[in-house]
Amino acid sequence: MLPGSDTLALCIDLVGGSAQDRSNNQQKCTAQGNTFSDEPCPHAGALGGCRETTSAAQITTWYYDDGTATAADIQMLCEGLAGNVPSSIVKIEFVAP
Protein backbone atom coordinates (compact mmCIF):
# COMPACT_ATOMS: atom_id res chain seq x y z
CA MET A 1 0.00 0.00 0.00
CA LEU A 2 1.09 3.53 -0.58
CA PRO A 3 1.60 5.48 2.65
CA GLY A 4 -1.62 7.14 3.80
CA SER A 5 -3.83 5.43 1.22
CA ASP A 6 -5.62 2.23 0.31
CA THR A 7 -3.79 2.07 -3.04
CA LEU A 8 -1.34 -0.72 -3.81
CA ALA A 9 2.21 0.28 -4.68
CA LEU A 10 3.09 -3.16 -6.03
CA CYS A 11 1.88 -6.74 -5.88
CA ILE A 12 3.65 -9.97 -6.80
CA ASP A 13 1.96 -12.97 -8.44
CA LEU A 14 3.74 -16.31 -8.15
CA VAL A 15 2.75 -19.24 -10.37
CA GLY A 16 4.54 -22.54 -9.97
CA GLY A 17 7.50 -23.20 -7.77
CA SER A 18 7.62 -25.49 -4.77
CA ALA A 19 5.93 -25.32 -1.40
CA GLN A 20 9.28 -24.11 -0.05
CA ASP A 21 9.33 -21.27 -2.63
CA ARG A 22 5.87 -20.20 -1.44
CA SER A 23 6.93 -20.35 2.21
CA ASN A 24 10.10 -18.34 1.52
CA ASN A 25 8.13 -15.69 -0.37
CA GLN A 26 5.54 -15.47 2.40
CA GLN A 27 8.22 -15.03 5.06
CA LYS A 28 10.06 -12.38 3.05
CA CYS A 29 6.84 -10.51 2.35
CA THR A 30 5.67 -10.38 5.96
CA ALA A 31 9.18 -9.63 7.28
CA GLN A 32 9.13 -6.48 5.13
CA GLY A 33 5.84 -5.41 6.75
CA ASN A 34 3.72 -6.33 3.75
CA THR A 35 0.59 -8.44 3.44
CA PHE A 36 0.78 -11.92 1.92
CA SER A 37 -2.22 -13.40 0.13
CA ASP A 38 -2.85 -16.43 -2.03
CA GLU A 39 -5.20 -14.37 -4.21
CA PRO A 40 -4.08 -13.09 -7.61
CA CYS A 41 -3.02 -9.45 -7.79
CA PRO A 42 -5.73 -7.02 -8.87
CA HIS A 43 -5.23 -5.33 -12.21
CA ALA A 44 -7.35 -2.24 -11.46
CA GLY A 45 -4.98 0.71 -11.27
CA ALA A 46 -1.99 -1.31 -12.47
CA LEU A 47 0.36 0.32 -14.95
CA GLY A 48 1.90 -2.99 -15.94
CA GLY A 49 4.20 -5.65 -14.65
CA CYS A 50 7.56 -7.29 -15.12
CA ARG A 51 7.12 -11.02 -15.62
CA GLU A 52 10.08 -13.29 -14.83
CA THR A 53 9.82 -16.77 -16.28
CA THR A 54 12.15 -19.61 -15.31
CA SER A 55 11.90 -23.34 -15.77
CA ALA A 56 10.38 -23.63 -12.26
CA ALA A 57 8.10 -20.61 -11.82
CA GLN A 58 6.62 -17.43 -13.19
CA ILE A 59 6.76 -14.29 -11.03
CA THR A 60 4.99 -11.11 -12.07
CA THR A 61 5.61 -7.90 -10.15
CA TRP A 62 2.70 -5.52 -10.80
CA TYR A 63 3.25 -1.78 -10.42
CA TYR A 64 0.36 0.57 -9.67
CA ASP A 65 -0.31 4.19 -10.52
CA ASP A 66 1.16 6.34 -7.75
CA GLY A 67 1.23 9.54 -9.79
CA THR A 68 4.99 9.39 -10.39
CA ALA A 69 5.36 6.69 -13.06
CA THR A 70 3.71 5.73 -16.33
CA ALA A 71 3.22 2.43 -18.12
CA ALA A 72 6.11 3.42 -20.38
CA ASP A 73 8.33 3.83 -17.29
CA ILE A 74 7.42 0.34 -16.11
CA GLN A 75 8.10 -1.09 -19.58
CA MET A 76 11.54 0.57 -19.56
CA LEU A 77 12.19 -0.87 -16.07
CA CYS A 78 11.36 -4.37 -17.30
CA GLU A 79 13.54 -3.98 -20.38
CA GLY A 80 16.41 -2.79 -18.19
CA LEU A 81 16.03 -5.79 -15.89
CA ALA A 82 15.91 -8.13 -18.89
CA GLY A 83 19.20 -6.69 -20.13
CA ASN A 84 20.93 -7.58 -16.87
CA VAL A 85 20.24 -11.33 -16.72
CA PRO A 86 21.08 -14.19 -19.09
CA SER A 87 17.94 -15.00 -21.10
CA SER A 88 18.88 -18.68 -20.92
CA ILE A 89 18.22 -18.59 -17.15
CA VAL A 90 15.29 -16.19 -16.84
CA LYS A 91 13.11 -14.39 -19.35
CA ILE A 92 11.88 -10.96 -18.23
CA GLU A 93 9.18 -9.15 -20.16
CA PHE A 94 6.70 -6.31 -19.69
CA VAL A 95 3.06 -7.33 -19.41
CA ALA A 96 0.07 -5.00 -19.62
CA PRO A 97 -2.69 -5.31 -17.01
> Where are the chain's structural domains?
10-95
Mean per-residue pLDDT of the chain: 87
Q: 81 φ, ψ to 5°?
A: -65, -40
Q: 8 φ, ψ to 5°?
A: -70, 140
- In eight-state DSSP terms, residue 13 is E
Give pLDDT, residue 36: 85
Percent of the chain with pLDDT over 70: 92
Q: Tell me: pLDDT of 2 over 70.
A: no
What pTM was estimated for this model as a whole? 0.83
